[in-house]
Chains A and B, each alone.
Chain A
């Protein structure tokens, strides 16, 4: 008989989550109660996190191509939502989800820094920058 956990968002909406999905969260795992309030996380975001957990509870093999495609779509959200998801996943200590979200932010930063540097500092050259840095360190 699997237990059902209740997750409450900051705007008082409750999500019911089955044991297998809920235990993907370390926070829930180490909690003594089956009712957990997630502070500062609204229902829209908490709902998405629950959706991710449900999907990942179904299929344990994270190297599955289909899940990878689903995950890739899951993290393709606007940065505003992305950061809220990270906060929620971090609070709930869902390692795999935090990994995927931070990888996505990393990719976004990578792309944006390239563009911004090209625009703001057009003569910037990475190799030369490193040399200048070395000089200032006394090499």
Chain B
């Protein structure tokens, strides 16, 4: 039985439940067959709170009318999570919908007015002017020492034109309790006098954010000494220099910027080098620098162009590298030789010209995930696959069966690419009816003669129970 809690407005729950019952000509106390309720009462309070903190405000309101217990949990979970898109569209007129949404937002704030603290405030809506309501909700959250702030102004099809909400830096100046800040599609108006200070901020995520000056981001970043996780998406024109010692995870996606990373305690780095919008690869040759980093464990590149020799000395620059991802990358007609002692996981997704100029020596590789989307020169494919023979496990993902069917003449002439491989998982997107299952099996058996485990689209063909 859950402990009784003293909560402001708890008597209103009883009133509210009575009222709804009258309106609906009532119903029994049960939660409509929702067995979940009997389980939640057996869990510790903190855990129940955690469960309910994942609910949006609208879901929480619905949950509240279904059970007294849930109603009291919902009112003690100090979260406001309001998304304009949630729920059925009440009316066809978008102006009417907007008005109703702003009214709902304002009402939600009023209900929580007496609360002194707020854990999380998330707002997602489209921007059509009407700063007043937004400013009010922001100050409401910040006055209550909110820890997580997530403001997203959604855009249709990520169009960059259109008005941007302007967030005053001064609004954030005293946010000492803020640990997570996520902003999307807005402008930040910097204060020329005061520098911003967010001493507790650990996670910063900016998407399509604009500053008034070129140094805006740098100044914001330098006011965040505790930052551990930074993500920048579709931010352009900045000079991003990151040398803080606390930074552990960095993501730079679709940004046209100058990037210099000297954060020597970095553990993971994810980079996407295309423009998102026009699918054109950003030329980062002169503007991309990442220092050698003794702590880096995971490197992920997608849609990036590599300068010749970028991978040289990978092992000495990133001695702890365990995971490497190359997704749709290109090399300026250079040869890629990757040598890595600690590499455990390698993910490769269809990379154009790299296939022919690629070699990898990773003696401790546990898992290699290879995705090939085009039918290739089988000779090149054989050479490429040979790089992963030492791996404990290979997952091969192809779009059509033909990719895996090595021609018979080839099989007679050449030795298999994966003589030592024991574990192979194959995923095929479209099974072409022309190819027989036995032709596929023949080719795979030639490719990896020592297989002890084989599965094709999650169906096991060989399974040796000795292997764990």
Contacts and interface: CB of A to CB of B under 8 A. Distances in A.
A10 to B, nearest CB: 15
Interface in B89-126: 90, 100, 103-104, 107-108, 110-111
A105 B51 contact: yes
Main secondary structure on A side of the interface with B: helix
Contact of B59 (A58, A83, A113): A113
B51 A102 contact: yes
A127 B369 contact: no
Nearest to A112: B34
B96 to A, nearest CB: 12
A134 interface: yes
Nearest to B19: A132
Interface string A56-99: 00111101111000000000000110010011001000000011
Contacts of A98: 47, 50
B68 interface: no
Given A79-B39, A98-B50, A102-B54, A117 B323 contact: no
Contacts of A87: 42-43
A98 B48 CA distance: 11
Size bracket of the A interface:
35 or more
B9 A137 contact: yes
Interface in A113-131: 113-114, 116-117, 119-121, 123-124, 126-127, 129-131
Nearest to A64: B323
Given A110-B56, A113-B63, A120 B43 contact: no
B31 A116 contact: yes
Contacts of B323: 59, 61, 64
Nearest to A82: B39
Interface in B42-64: 42-44, 47, 50-56, 58-59, 61-63
Contacts of A63: 249, 268, 270, 298
Contacts of B55: 106, 109-110
Given A59-B323, A60-B297, A126-B61, A133 B16 contact: yes
Contact of A117 (B44, B65, B347): B65
Nearest to A91: B44
Nearest to B20: A121
A61 B66 contact: no
Contact of B66 (A86, A103, A113, A130): A113
Given A109-B55, A130-B107, A130-B108, A114 B62 contact: yes
A67 to B, nearest CB: 10
A64 B298 contact: yes
A53 B272 CA distance: 31
Interface of B: 9, 12, 15-16, 19-20, 23-24, 27, 31-36, 39-40, 42-44, 47, 50-56, 58-59, 61-63, 65-66, 87, 90, 100, 103-104, 107-108, 110-111, 249, 267-268, 270, 297-298, 322-323, 344-345, 347, 366-367, 369
Given A59-B323, A106-B51, A130-B107, 16 more contacts: A63-B298, A64-B298, A66-B367, A83-B43, A87-B43, A90-B47, A98-B50, A105-B36, A109-B36, A109-B63, A120-B24, A121-B27, A124-B62, A127-B100, A129-B65, A130-B108
Interface of A: 58-61, 63-66, 79-80, 83, 86-87, 90, 98-99, 102-103, 105-110, 112-114, 116-117, 119-121, 123-124, 126-127, 129-134, 136-137, 139
* CB-based closest 9 A-B pairs: A106-B54, A116-B32, A83-B39, A113-B62, A102-B50, A110-B59, A102-B51, A130-B107, A61-B298
26 contacts: A60-B322, A63-B249, A63-B298, A64-B323, A66-B345, A83-B40, A90-B43, A98-B50, A102-B50, A102-B54, A105-B54, A109-B52, A112-B34, A112-B36, A116-B31, A116-B34, A120-B32, A121-B24, A123-B24, A127-B103, A127-B107, A129-B61, A130-B108, A134-B107, A136-B12, A136-B19
